[in-house]
Amino acid sequence: MPLHKTNILKIYNSLSGEKETFVPIHEGNVGMYVCGPTVYSNVHLGNVRTFMSFDMIFRYLLHLGYKVRYVRNITDVGHIVDDVDEGEDKIAKKARLEQLEPMEVVQRYTVDFHEILKEFNFLPPSIEPTATGHIIEQIEIIKKIIANGIGYEANGSVYFDVVKFNETNHYGKLSGRNIEDMLANTRDLDGQSDKRNPQDFALWKKAEPQHIMRWPSPWSDGFPGWHLECTAMSTKYLGNHFDIHGGGMDLKFPHHECEIAQNEACTGQTPVNYWMHANMLTLNGKKMAKSTGNNILPREILTGGSEFLSKAFSPSVTRFFMMQAHYRSILDFSDDAIVAAEKGYNRLMEAMQNLKEIVPKNSSTIDIPTWKKECYEAMNDDFNSPILIAQLFEGVRFVNILKDNSATLTSEDLGIFTKTMQAFVFDVLALEDGKSSSDSNARLEGVIEMLIRMRNDARANKDFALSDHIRDQLIALGIQLKDGKDGTTFTL
């Protein structure tokens, strides 16, 4: 029997502001859409945290035995700088600044995105559609919205009439806003005169002559609005009504609010049952921002190449650090915090190794069924990974007292305990045992240090040919030597 039959999962629904019992539209099946990256720059650590949260959610749904169709898009056109309707497309701007074709920019940063997620042991989504691959679908949705009296054309662009929509629907129900407040706080924007109402948003934008990314449409050569892309891709692969829509907290308004409005204006029904939002990652108590220098990239954690870090940390240590906070909580990244997380991770991995050596006995002195139940209760309570980790460390304590023969488990209970620990540590949290990797790194460092000593001996003996040969061979392998007053060091 699938585990979802015996587990009651509750999800915090941003739409209702409450935890709700998860009941999929189709028994045993889950449709989940998560807003992916706009690929105009390297994916940053805050993005990684958001996608990691939904990777964990995806993994737990699979663990419960659901058949999950997980759709995560790539935004490769239409996302205007500053998330407004007027101005320059983020990808087109990057292409102009670097004198590249826009699709070169897209390819470069899509590859980077995939490489980073692979490093951190993400499962790939079921489908990863691109906005440029769904222009036809977006045009058809615009036609329907216009036909239903909610969209209008102005000088080759098409806008969504928020005031008209709000006569029969509630624009702002996800973010808790109302039109009056939005109107009072609206900024004056260039080109806003094309709109009937300042809070209307673009469905299609007419391309200026210098705009590189453009497609023909019934209204103009142009490009789709950012909000429309996700409506088109989510409904194409999950239907007009699906289970879960996720993304970062910053997307709640206007992006997700506009998605709801577009779906309701097009189909007459609400698109999503459960809206989920992951919270932000800060750095040393401040918002991460490239402009202020308070920023760290995922690869800098793995190499230790950041002024904010005392050393490099493995992907699994980073993942363990992230999972120690609930996905809806703000998480502050600091060197002290990840150093502490590494210690906890090492304790957990050591216990997983020791668990293999536990021998079953004739009786159990530990209540494994209750412990297992509490592990599932943690995850069933809106994917509460920090409470799960607390239960796993209770499991670490069990391993320690079993190892020193202060407690015993029957063969059946030991099997349940081992299976549960492995499932949550490796499958759901997606941690990997870095012991073999650490051993390999230690051996590599030992070999390099030996070669440095041989080179130093050669230099002392004035055998500069051998000294240079060792240095050149190491460089060819990607190992850079640096001679200083305190001796020779190396970097990979």
453: phi then psi, degrees, rounded to nearest 5:
-65, -40
Would you state the pLDDT for residue 234?
98
What is the fold, at CATH topology level, of the domain defined by 282-428?
Answer: Isoleucyl-tRNA Synthetase; Domain 1 (1.10.730)
Asked whether this chain's domains 3-278 and 282-428 adopt the same fold, the reply is no
CB 241 within 8 A of CB 266: no
Please check if 258 is assigned to a binding site.
no
Half-sphere exposure at residue 283, Cβ-oriented, CA atoms within 13 angstroms: 20
Please check if 372 is assigned to a binding site.
no
Closest CA to 322 of 466, 201, 430: 430
Task: Tell me the domain boundaries of the chain.
Answer: 3-278, 282-428, 435-491
Pairing mode, strands 29-34 and 18-21: unpaired
The separation between CA 337 and the C-alpha centre of its own chain, rounded to angstroms, equals 20
CA–CA gap between residue 386 and residue 347 (Å, rounded): 16
CA–CA gap between residue 158 and residue 154 (Å, rounded): 6
User: What are the residues whose beta carbons fall under 8 Å from the beta carbon of 165, sequence distance 6 or more?
Assistant: 150, 171, 261, 264, 265
Q: What is the DSSP string of 341-402?
A: HHHHHHHHHHHHHHHTTPPP-SS--S-HHHHHHHHHHHHHBT--HHHHHHHHHHHHHHHHHH
Would you state the pLDDT for residue 27?
98
Among 3.40.50.620, 2.170.270.10, 3.40.50.720, 3.40.50.2300, name the CATH number for the domain at 3-278.
3.40.50.620
Would you state the pLDDT for residue 189?
47
Please check if 343 is assigned to a binding site.
no
Please check if 259 is assigned to a binding site.
yes
Each residue's pLDDT, cut to its tens digit, for the chain (492 residues) gives 999 999 999 999 999 999 999 999 999 999 999 999 999 999 989 999 999 999 999 999 999 999 999 999 999 997 876 666 777 788 988 888 888 889 999 999 999 999 999 999 999 999 999 999 999 999 999 999 999 999 999 999 999 999 999 999 999 999 999 887 666 666 554 445 689 999 999 999 999 888 889 999 999 999 999 999 999 999 999 999 999 999 999 999 999 999 999 999 999 999 999 999 999 999 999 988 777 888 899 999 999 999 999 999 999 999 999 999 999 999 999 999 999 999 999 999 999 999 999 999 999 999 999 999 999 999 999 999 999 999 999 999 999 999 999 999 999 999 999 999 999 999 999 999 976 444 555 667 778 877 888 888 878 888 888 878 888 788 877 787 878 766 787 766
